[in-house]
């Protein structure tokens, strides 16, 4: 749709993006409370259906610019991006006291034209997840104080791996940008090269058991069988980009941008091979402090023949207080892969594109947020300061990949009215081993340091 716009219209739309965002923020300062009204509507719907149909949702828009990224032939990464990143409607239907159906309709719209955003479509909509949740302990009348509670969830489910994927909506997070653990390793949001996915979901089932110890705390374990990550290609990280270097030569390279859920389409049910992937997540919340710590494990074959495994292990922690919180994740992924394969048929440097054989990816993040003061009725309005450090290496055997980098993110959030907040984020990325960067990457504008600025408006009901 946006491809038909003239350059003037496309440019004007980008320029208008920021004032529109700020204008919306200013408008919502008036004597209206849109989120309270939305909540009231959903409560009316719930009451009209005797509590059976329960709706909620959120929306966020953002304006983002980068500096220091290389220019690509079909995507200009340093160009401003203005988009409704997510607009979601959650629906939970109580079928019986023990059976619940849950789904999320998620939409996204880019105001920036395709040439600059790199998106296939300006508008995307999908059912992010859809599943039935059966409360076995309730149906069988178990004494959960004695034996714990057991649920079975089946359908397209959020993959229970680490903490971020199950809590990705930005109103639940301190920052709009995802940490590298979720962006490059666990494919919560696919990397910007191929902007398609809204969360790591997959077809399968989850067995969830939890038990509350009297003094110690709460233990929760989720065991999941899903189709798993995979690709029909001979290498797992098979994404390619064409560098827009000066001159006639436009080399095609593998950016090695991390794990991508190649079958992320919401109506994709097939597996790439006959072997399901297994996921295990165990978490613990001590009774004395609001700390959620856990370990996650994933294993599954990613190739057509089912000969090569992807194995991931990770840990997470969330310490959540009203006025401050600390969050963090660490994840390592081991990929079995044949060496010496070049899947790039277009012209490009073999030293960059040939597969390295088995390799390891790793990533971590640590984030802190603090609310220095609150105001308004019920102290609901506040200012929040945020800092995040994260690091990623998507292939420890590769001579150079732009996704071997560290990053500092600073953020400021202003919750200026009921359930509506404005965020500003600044980032500085430092690419590791930049001395090994190939000439065409540098010629296309790629720099050792990348900076990012983003302003977002986030609302939920």
Partner 1 sequence: MIKQLKLPCQALLFVLLVVTGATIQAAGVDVYLVYAGADKKLQKRIRATLPGDLAIKSYNASLLMMADYSGKQKAIAKLSSAKLVVLINKQSMELLGNPRFPNALMVTGDSSQEIDKIKAALGP
Do 42 and 461 form a contact (C-beta atoms < 8 A)? yes
> Residue from 33, 71, 115, 124 that binds partner 1 (CB under 8 A)?
124
Counting contacts by CB under 8 A, is residue 267 touching partner 1? yes
Stretch that binds partner 1, among 217-225, 230-238, 307-315, 410-418 (CB under 8 A): 217-225
CB 101, min distance to partner 1, A: 4
> Residue from 22, 54, 233, 240 that binds partner 1 (CB under 8 A)?
54
Stretch that binds partner 1, among 48-56, 67-75, 183-191, 382-390 (CB under 8 A): 48-56
Stretch that binds partner 1, among 51-59, 62-70, 388-396, 447-455 (CB under 8 A): 51-59
Stretch that binds partner 1, among 22-30, 45-53, 179-187, 252-260 (CB under 8 A): 45-53
Site for partner 1 in 283-302 (CB under 8 A): 283, 285, 287-288, 290, 292, 294
Give the alpha-carbon dihedral of 264, 266, 270, 272, to 10 degrees.
0
Cα-trace Rg, the chain: 23
DSSP 47-109: HHTTT-EEEEEEEEEEEEEEESPPBBSS-BTTS-EEEEEEEEEEEEEE-SSSEEEEEEEEEEE
Element (H, E) at 410: strand 404-417
- Between 242 and 283, whose beta carbon lies closer to partner 1? 283
Counting contacts by CB under 8 A, is residue 220 touching partner 1? yes
User: What is the phi/psi pair of residue 265, to 5°?
Assistant: -60, 140
Counting contacts by CB under 8 A, is residue 123 touching partner 1? yes
- Between 116 and 281, whose beta carbon lies closer to partner 1? 281
CB 438, min distance to partner 1, A: 38
Long-range contacts, stretch 239-243, CB < 8 angstroms, 24+ apart? 239/191, 239/193, 239/194, 240/344, 240/346, 240/348, 241/72, 241/75, 241/193, 242/72, 242/73, 242/74, 242/346, 243/70, 243/71, 243/72, 243/73, 243/440, 243/441, 243/443, 243/444
Which of 363, 300, 366 is CA-nearest to residue 159?
300
Counting contacts by CB under 8 A, is residue 147 touching partner 1? no
- Between 141 and 340, whose beta carbon lies closer to partner 1? 141
Distance (Å, whole) CA 387 – CA 385: 7
Question: Among all chains, which residue has been given the structure tokens 């409370």?
Answer: 33
Stretch that binds partner 1, among 41-49, 247-255, 334-342, 423-431 (CB under 8 A): 41-49
Stretch that binds partner 1, among 13-21, 118-126, 296-304, 448-456 (CB under 8 A): 118-126
Question: Among all chains, which residue has been given the structure tokens 């296309």?
Answer: 444
Counting contacts by CB under 8 A, is residue 97 touching partner 1? yes
- The DSSP output letter for 261 is -
> Residue from 79, 119, 168, 405 that binds partner 1 (CB under 8 A)?
168
- The DSSP output letter for 443 is H
Contacting positions for partner 1 (CB under 8 A): 1, 43, 46, 49-54, 56, 90-97, 100-105, 107, 109, 121-127, 130, 133, 138, 144-145, 149, 158, 160, 166-169, 172, 210, 212, 214, 217-218, 220, 266-267, 283, 285, 287-288, 290, 292, 294, 318, 320, 322
């Amino acid at each position: 749709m946006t491809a038909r716009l003239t350059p003037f219209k496309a440019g004007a739309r980008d320029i208008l993006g920021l004032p529109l965002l700020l204008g919306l923020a200013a408008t919502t300062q008036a004597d209206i409370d849109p989120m309270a009204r939305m909540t009231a509507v959903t409560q009316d719907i719930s009451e009209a259906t005797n509590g059976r149909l329960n709706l909620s949702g959120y929306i966020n828009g953002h304006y983002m610019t980068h500096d220091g990224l290389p220019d690509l032939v079909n995507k200009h990464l340093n160009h401003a991006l203005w988009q409704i990143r997510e607009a979601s409607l959650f629906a939970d239907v109580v079928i019986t006291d023990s059976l619940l159906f849950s789904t999320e309709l998620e939409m996204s719209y880019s105001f920036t034209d395709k040439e600059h955003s790199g998106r296939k479509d300006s508008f995307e909509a999908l059912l992010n997840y859809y599943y039935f949740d059966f409360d076995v302990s309730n149906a069988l009348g178990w004494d959960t104080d004695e034996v714990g509670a057991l649920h079975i969830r089946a359908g397209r489910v959020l993959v229970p791996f680490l903490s971020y994927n199950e809590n990705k909506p930005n109103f639940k997070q301190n920052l709009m940008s995802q940490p590298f653990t979720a962006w490059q390793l666990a494919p919560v949001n696919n990397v910007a090269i191929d902007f398609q996915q809204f969360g790591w979901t997959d077809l399968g089932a989850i067995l969830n058991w939890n038990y509350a110890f009297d003094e110690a705390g709460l233990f929760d374990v989720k065991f999941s069988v899903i189709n798993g990550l995979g690709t029909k290609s001979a290498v797992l990280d098979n994404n390619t980009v064409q560098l827009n270097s000066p001159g006639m030569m436009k080399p095609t390279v593998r950016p090695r941008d991390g794990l991508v859920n190649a079958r992320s389409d919401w109506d994709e049910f097939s597996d790439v091979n006959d072997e399901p992937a297994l996921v295990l997540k165990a978490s613990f919340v001590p009774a004395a402090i609001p700390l959620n710590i856990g370990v996650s494990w994933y294993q599954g074959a990613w190739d057509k023949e089912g000969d090569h495994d992807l194995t991931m292990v990770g840990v997470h922690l969330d310490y959540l207080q009203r006025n401050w919180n600390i969050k963090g994740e660490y994840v390592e992924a081991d990929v079995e892969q044949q060496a010496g394969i070049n899947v790039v048929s277009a012209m490009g440097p073999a030293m960059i594109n040939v597969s390295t054989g088995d390799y390891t990816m790793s990533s971590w993040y640590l984030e802190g947020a603090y609310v220095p003061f609150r105001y308004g009725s019920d102290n609901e309005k506040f200012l929040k300061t945020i800092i995040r450090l994260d690091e990623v290496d998507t292939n420890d055997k590769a001579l150079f990949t732009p996704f071997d980098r560290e990053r500092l993110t600073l953020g400021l959030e202003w919750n200026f009215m009921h359930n509506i907040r404005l965020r500003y984020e600044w980032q500085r990325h430092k690419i590791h081993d930049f001395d090994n960067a190939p000439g065409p990457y540098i010629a296309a504008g790629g720099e050792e340091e990348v900076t990012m600025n983003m302003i977002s408006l986030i609302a939920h009901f």
